[in-house]
Chain A
């Protein structure tokens, strides 16, 4: 009941006129930016960070919550109407959403997605309310070795579970860790990778890194391969559902969160896997299996509810452990750090008003999204026609504003340019961006935890594995690392033709 009272107080915080206005603004901005092609929720949050520099933290995070959920909703609109998803969470929505739109059922697809987001988000956020304080209470007792183990797990999970190639994931992670090393060592004050520069002694600001990798890297990459004739979005009317659609959608809406929430909460990198699982599950359970891939409404409703619930799950580990598992969560963690607030087990005690205000505003944001987005769908669809030169010029423009506003220093613009070029190269050669950003943000924290653990054990390496919790986590890490090997062992032996060295060999997972 304690968290219920806290939640009520949170609503009292969130329902003040200013905060309500900020939530509405966040939802609108988030949806608009999410709908814009080329901008996913992570970039949306990164680009909008500077807007909140002038706000007090509670207001800023209430706005972020709106941007987060709004951005996810906007992403699925792009998927459905353009058939070219901007971010991983809405890839699955395109499979059936776009055929629906092409059959003239775009309004229904958008409605199924919007209501799916609402249902998934509400269920996910309720679970967040129920779970987060418990997790936080448990996490207060876990020590440096446990934290280090969880962070190692996060590193391994984002590089091994996602993406096509492990070696490229690790390359990206190490690039991120290197960027995270720049600056003064927190324990001894020694300069690392600063090359005597005073600008670098403070380290490279996470906001600069995030905006550079997401916004600048993406703009340069798109510039190199700009589609001269952008895809034509399919026009739609107000989003609505018929009786038959309701009948077919309500179960997928309720099933989605069951898959989405747990996947969001563990460090396995967001909504990609659970949305896909949800799609497969809905296909298997459906009576209209033959419609899948050609416009089955279940194929939109289920995955969208899943995506939304997984976003809520992500917040559990972000708020209680300070552990971001998706790009958006990573950028939000950076935002917390901007305000000098460290998410983690103590957050619920120290910043109770802020956290519960944030959680309450998630509920408010979801309701606003539902109310706004059903009638506004045609307006959002128009955003898809924005001329691409203006869109990417605008992204670079706001990226520059954001990077400059952090320290009012031109040097940051140059750093952003260099890291932006790096982001371009990473996109060209299939190095995923997420491990890099996780490395930048978690790297320094992981180093501190490790050194603290070793201090306690007087330098003995057993200090890293002397708790049962840490041992379990390392067990999971080992399984993840050895997974390809185990997989090979238990598979039937393949014919020996594979041994011949062919130039066209499929990707080697090292």
Chain B
């Protein structure tokens, strides 16, 4: 039929078989595990007949074999079934903007938690994530974020004895 659809390695062909990317990741992971395993020195530290190399080698080889089988399955028309769920609408195309914003909110917390402390970075995480997911209430969202963050901080740090970084704000009290 359409030449573009059936031609191997054309853009549409690859898009249809994007799962081959999973195979590529598995191969990369397998090679990584194998290279790391070979670099382990066992001459002085080995206790017992099986050293620390054996299992990584099995796992590495397994990863590569499974990657090949998966690629075969995909090329024969097999497709992994995307996971459904209560709030998942698979009929719509993937919304990358939301995903990236969400990742940004998550990483912002990781970057800021040591600098400004958890009460602030946690609030940024919550507000940012809610914003990314489409909440646009500029009064309720930040208030909720701040309230949740401070309450969680007090609950963990002061009541449960699980330390969280307070940051400069808490130092002032």
Interface residues of A (CB under 8 A from B): 37-38, 50-51, 53-55, 78, 82, 84-86, 164-165, 167-168, 170-171, 174-175, 177-178, 181, 185, 187-193, 195, 216, 218-228, 230-231, 387-390, 392-394, 396-398, 400-401, 404-405, 408, 410, 413-414, 417, 420-421, 424-425, 427-431, 447, 450-452, 454-455, 458-459, 501-508, 510
Contacts and interface: CB of A to CB of B under 8 A. Distances in A.
Q: How large is the interface on B (under 10, 10 to 19, 20 to 34, 35 or more residues)?
A: 35 or more
Contacts of B32: 193
Interface string B66-95: 110110110011111111011111101011
B36 A192 contact: yes
Nearest to A175: B29
Contact of B48 (A195, A404, A454): A454
B33 A178 contact: yes
Contact of A222 (B29, B85, B128, B135): B85
Interface string B40-77: 11100111111110111001001100110110110011
B133 interface: yes
A82 B86 contact: yes
Contacts of A404: 113, 118, 164
Nearest to A166: B69
A421 B100 CA distance: 11
Contacts of A458: 49
Given A389-B134, A429-B22, A50 B94 contact: no
B102 interface: yes
Contact of A400 (B69, B73, B122): B122
Contacts of B172: none
B169 interface: no
Nearest to A396: B129
A388 B89 contact: no
A405 B96 contact: no
A175 B131 CA distance: 33
Contact of A225 (B72, B88, B122): B88
Given A167-B66, A389-B131, A390-B144, 19 more contacts: A38-B86, A171-B26, A178-B33, A188-B45, A188-B46, A189-B45, A191-B40, A193-B32, A230-B87, A389-B130, A393-B125, A394-B148, A413-B109, A413-B113, A414-B110, A430-B83, A431-B22, A451-B54, A459-B49
Nearest to B98: A223
Contacts of A397: 122, 125-126, 129, 148-149, 152
A455 B77 CA distance: 45
Contacts of B87: 37-38, 222, 226-227, 230, 388, 392
A450 B50 contact: yes
Contacts of A177: 55, 59, 62
